[in-house]
């Protein structure tokens, strides 16, 4: 037998404990703006899982691709690697397109549910796309650094990148969303 439940718990627990501790920090930011988010800014509460899911997935795909590239050798362990730069640019483009599309879907979904309030389509789409763009930048950098650092230390980037990227992405996603909403003057 190669699996034992005790080992699965023992190996999973330390990283998960750190991850949920960081996520609780994200939760406290939400609680701080709770009244607004569950009131007239409900449309942004709906967007939070979307903002985080897209960035988490793009970061994980990027990390997995970098990991395979490093393992096989077509990506070199250098911040100037051209193949890596291409991957970064494509990630940003995919992110831009996905956020733009999903923001429009959310806005029209929310207008059916009558929870848009006085937020204009262009305002909402801009907030989500800018938040998403900033988040993808952070997530991409974290993904590259985690993949390279893990690889250098003999750890498999396939094990490390996804949890690190999704955890950092969740917190920064909420922070960026609140900041950009503030800059646009929507409510907060």
Partner 1 sequence: MYAKEMVKQSLPLIVLCGMGAIVAGSTLSLMAELFEKIPGLIVVIPAIIAMRGNISTALGSRLGSAYHLGVIDSDNLWSNELKQNVFGSIVLGFIVSLIIGIFAYTSSVFMGRSPDPVIIISIVVIAGILSALILTLMTIAIIFLVFKRGWDPDNITGPALATFGDIVTMICIFASALIFVGVAT
150, 161 contact by CB (below 8 A): yes
User: Considering the complex, what minimum distance in angstroms separates the CB of residue 86 from partner 1?
Assistant: 4
Q: Is 146 in the site for partner 1 (CB under 8 A)?
A: no
Told to check if 121 binds partner 1 by CB under 8 A, we report no
> Distances in Å between the alpha carbon of 45 and those of 2, 16, 80?
43, 25, 39
Establish if 20 lies at the interface with partner 1 (CB under 8 A).
yes
Q: Binding partner 1 by CB under 8 A: which of 36, 40, 65, 140?
A: 65
Backbone dihedral angles phi then psi of residue 114, each to the nearest 5 degrees: 60, 35
| Spatial distance between the Cα atoms of 176 and 134, rounded to a whole number of angstroms | 7
Q: CA neighbours within 13 Å on the CB side: how many for 165?
A: 31
What span, in angstroms and rounded, lies between the C-alpha atoms of 59 and 164?
A: 10
30 contacts partner 1 (rule: CB under 8 A): yes
178 binds partner 1 (CB under 8 A): no
**Which ranges of 33-120 would DSSP assign to H, the alpha helix?**
34-37, 42-72, 82-112
**Interface pick for partner 1 out of 104, 115, 130, 175 (rule CB under 8 A):** 115
Per CB under 8 A, the list member of 36, 42, 123, 126 interacting with partner 1 is: 42
Residue 143 interacts with partner 1 (CB under 8 A): yes or no: no
Distance CA 123, CA 175 (A): 18
The site for partner 1 (CB under 8 A) is made up of 1-9, 12-13, 15-17, 19-21, 23-28, 30-32, 34, 38, 42, 45-50, 52-54, 56-58, 61, 65, 69, 74, 83, 86-87, 89-91, 93-94, 97-98, 101-102, 105-106, 109, 113, 115, 162-163, 166-167, 170-171, 174
């Amino acid at each position: 037998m190669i699996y034992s439940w005790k080992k699965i718990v023992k190996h999973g627990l330390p990283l998960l404990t750190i991850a949920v501790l960081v996520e609780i920090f994200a939760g406290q930011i939400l609680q701080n703006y709770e009244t607004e988010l569950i009131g007239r800014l409900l449309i942004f509460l709906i967007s939070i899982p979307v903002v985080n899911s897209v960035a988490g997935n793009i970061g994980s795909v990027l990390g997995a691709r970098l990991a395979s590239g490093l393992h096989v050798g077509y990506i070199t362990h250098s911040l100037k690697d051209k193949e890596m730069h291409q991957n970064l640019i494509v990630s940003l483009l995919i992110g831009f397109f996905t956020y733009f599309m999903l923001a429009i879907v959310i806005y029209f979904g929310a207008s059916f549910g009558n929870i848009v309030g006085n937020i204009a389509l262009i305002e909402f789409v801009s907030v989500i796309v800018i938040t998403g763009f900033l988040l993808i930048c952070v997530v991409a950098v974290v993904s590259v650094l985690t993949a390279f650092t893990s690889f250098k230390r003999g750890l498999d980037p396939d094990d490390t990148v996804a949890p690190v990227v999704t955890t950092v992405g969740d917190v920064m996603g909420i922070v960026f969303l609140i900041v950009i909403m503030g800059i646009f003057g929507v409510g907060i």
